[in-house]
Amino acid sequence: MRSDNETTESTHPIPSASEITRLHSQCVEQWHQIEINNRYSGFLLTVCNQHAANFRLWHEEDKARCPQSTDEIIAAVKREIDALNQRRNDLIESLDIQIQAILKNIGVSPTSSTPMNTETPGSAIDRLSILSLRMYHYQEEYLRCKAESMAIDDGGRLQSIRERIQRCESQLCDLSTSLQELFDDLVTGKKRHQLYLQMKMYNDPNLNPAIYRHRSK
């Protein structure tokens, strides 16, 4: 990982991985206090919108697992989860489309023999977004458990949560480093950026048989 982050952020045509992870962390913190907002522009505007979809999705998933939720509530939550997951995936594709445009704009033209990554930058950014949410909520639960001042730590719960936080931090460091290396390799033409559209079928009324077979005639 580069030590000179400021230079990287000011000269790189793609925002750095450190900018992206900082956005994720700051937004998760803020959105638990105020309504979701987006003060960014350009590529980071889409990063923030994609992160917001994950933020909403995370909390809808929590609702779906509440033992007190009625069947009606769960059905409504499931539909909201489907819509948010579609938006999440659409925005992953949008990130990759924007990276493709950036590379074309700066004249990067790798050959068909140039190696590719198995994961696109948009997918890696999505994983970093989810990691930031996971870290926030693990830290929240750690503080909550610690505040309970348990005379006996229930099965080493605090230690278990602390270890999971450390794993998340290690994963975030590894993934953000790899993402920055991918950005650098794409810009210099060492790696080829291949756009893969996900082409989900289940939300398309013309392609999901469970939908089109039950249309009113």
SS3 16: coil
Q: What is the pLDDT of residue 152?
A: 53
Q: Which residues of 152-190 are buried (b: 16+ CB within 10 A; e: fewer)?
A: eeeeeebeebeeebeebeeebeebbeebbbbbbbbbeee
Q: What is the pTM of this model?
A: 0.86
Average pLDDT, the chain: 88
pLDDT in tens, 132-167: 999 999 999 988 888 776 555 666 888 889 999 999
Alpha helices in 116-212 (DSSP H): 121-147, 157-188, 209-212
More confident site: 131 or 7: 131
More confident site: 201 or 216: 201
pLDDT in tens, 76-116: 999 999 999 999 999 999 999 999 999 999 999 888 899 99
Number of neighbours of residue 193 by Cβ within 10 angstroms? 22
Bridge partners of 116, per DSSP, are 192
Q: Tokens 């309504």, residue? A: 35
